[in-house]
Amino acid sequence: MRLRWVLLISSLLVAFLIGVSLYARQLSKRLLEQQLNIVRFYASALRYAAQAPDECLMDFFWEYVYPTGQGGSRILIVPLVLTNDRGKVLSHNLQDLRLSPKGQHIQDFLPYLGGDTTEFVPITITFAANRTLKIYYGEPLILRQIRWMPVISSGLIVVAGLIWIGFIYTAHRYRQDKLWVGLARETAHQLGTPLSGLVGSIELLRDFPELLHKLLPRMEDDLQRLSEIADRFSKIGTEPRLRTQDLVPILEEVVRYFERRVPRQVQLRFVAPSQAILLPLNSTLIRWAIENLLRNSLDALPPEGGMIVLRVQLRKGEAWIDVEDTGKGILPTQWEEIFRPGFTTKGHGWGIGLALARRVVEEYHGGEIFVAQSALGRGTTIRIKLPLTRRLSPWRRIRGALIQRFRGLLRLLRR
């Protein structure tokens, strides 16, 4: 994961936690004001009850308001203790809050109220004969829980974020390791053929110098191939230069290269429109991508051979390149997997060819590459879509990746 994405996600996380904390603080403040108003109402009700005749009090008052051990606390979530003028506890609602203080004096109850008597000043109720009652109260327990909620949420989010980052980092390292191993093996594989040709030509020249005029063109071809391979790998990891040119001759050159190398039982066809297809591209990388697709199609054919068709056409303002084969096909669950580094169904494969093709098409040319259709035992069609104008914005890349994931999910659901 790139550093800017980590910073962006971290900034969003911090902003979210700050927002949750401010909201929880505002909510607890409003809830506390509401509960303090209820405490004042409770005190006024007790003051009225102490002076009013019994017939003026309704039954609900005795059940919900009057300070007994069972009642007088159901309308409150504020921890509240009612005492006489000597500090003896007459009633409280701490049992409703699952608190169990011991003792009968207010000093035994103050630690359970969770509030400072300076901040939560006790309310004095005066009635006949200068007798008084006092209501001691504190901060509601639920407010403490609300204040802790952002902290707990932050901790959970941080832990989940760390696990997620660790998973992404591990997966990224795994893919990078697969990519580097695959690149190393692919490099050795591609260099092996022209180097073997050069070594063989040199050995022949040592024994038969008169063959120089016959071997020289072959050696030049091998050197040209080595130069092209070096050029390809030098472009991986850097932004290539795109130049507007005709796509059809580039594909024709790739087909001619493969026609000299495919077995006789394999038919290779190239279908192209009569007009030119001009678009910005890097010919070296596009040739490499198409070669990888053709090589995969060739490996997918049965021993008795088959057919490979390279088709290019203009559709909807894009150049569509289809590589069709009559090979063994691909399982629907593997349509997306085959483009990931290290994934291969071949015993001798390294899982790098299609991953490189996707990088060339999507990241360097702003196009798309995907499995258009495939059936087991009937063949596969891999499609490349290249825009006729340069579209390499980050949003284009992100949108293309999301479209590919969504398309793969739909295909799985349809099957």
Are residues 111 and 125 located together in one domain of the fold? yes
Are residues 217 and 256 located together in one domain of the fold? no
* Lowest-pLDDT choice from 215-224, 353-362, 406-415: 406-415
Q: How crowded is residue 234: how many other Cβ atoms within 10 Å of its Cβ?
A: 11
Q: Is residue 234 part of a domain?
A: no
Q: Is residue 401 part of a domain?
A: yes
Higher pLDDT, 29 or 65: 29
Are residues 176 and 286 located together in one domain of the fold? no
The yes-or-no verdict on residue 69 having pLDDT over 70 is no
Are residues 208 and 331 located together in one domain of the fold? no
pLDDT at 227: 76
Instruction: Say which CATH number the domain at 354 has.
Output: 3.30.565.10
Are residues 72 and 19 located together in one domain of the fold? yes
Domain limits for position 245? 240-414
Are residues 161 and 300 located together in one domain of the fold? no
- Among candidate residues 288, 296, 183, 292, the one with its CA nearest the CA of residue 228: 288
Are residues 262 and 158 located together in one domain of the fold? no
Q: Is residue 233 part of a domain?
A: no
Are residues 291 and 384 located together in one domain of the fold? yes
Domain closes at, from 139, 156, 189: 139
The yes-or-no verdict on residue 319 having pLDDT over 90 is yes
Higher pLDDT, 45 or 358: 358
Q: Is residue 229 part of a domain?
A: no
Q: Is residue 231 part of a domain?
A: no
pLDDT bracket for residue 72 (50, 70, 90): very low
Higher pLDDT, 358 or 64: 358
Are residues 289 and 339 located together in one domain of the fold? yes
The yes-or-no verdict on residue 99 having pLDDT over 50 is yes
pLDDT at 387: 92
Higher pLDDT, 404 or 212: 212
Q: Is residue 214 part of a domain?
A: yes
Best mean pLDDT range from 26-40, 120-134, 314-328: 314-328
Average pLDDT over residues 111-131: 76
Average pLDDT over residues 297-309: 90
Number of domains in the chain: 3
Are residues 248 and 375 located together in one domain of the fold? yes
Domain closes at, from 195, 222, 249: 222
Q: Is residue 182 part of a domain?
A: yes
Residue 210, CB-side half-sphere exposure with 13 Å CA sphere: 0
Q: In what order do the strands lie in the sheet with 306-315?
A: 266-271, 306-315, 318-325, 379-387, 368-375
- pLDDT 10s digits, 183-226: 666 666 667 667 777 888 888 888 888 888 888 887 887 787 77
State the residue for tokens 């902003």.
15
* Lowest-pLDDT choice from 61-65, 76-80, 377-381: 61-65
The yes-or-no verdict on residue 71 having pLDDT over 50 is no
Domain closes at, from 222, 254, 274: 222
Q: Is residue 196 part of a domain?
A: yes
The yes-or-no verdict on residue 133 having pLDDT over 80 is yes
Q: CA-CA distance, 82 to 67, in Å (whole number)?
A: 7
Residue 32 CB-density burial (10 A; 0-12 exposed, 13-18 middle, 19+ buried): middle
- The one-character DSSP state at 82 is E
pLDDT at 270: 95
Are residues 375 and 284 located together in one domain of the fold? yes
* Lowest-pLDDT choice from 155-164, 249-258, 311-320: 155-164
Q: CA-CA distance, 30 to 123, in Å (whole number)?
A: 21
pLDDT bracket for residue 280 (50, 70, 90): very high
Average pLDDT over residues 369-374: 92
pLDDT at 274: 86
pTM: 0.52
pLDDT at 53: 65
Are residues 58 and 198 located together in one domain of the fold? no
The yes-or-no verdict on residue 66 having pLDDT over 70 is no
Best mean pLDDT range from 74-83, 110-119, 289-298: 289-298
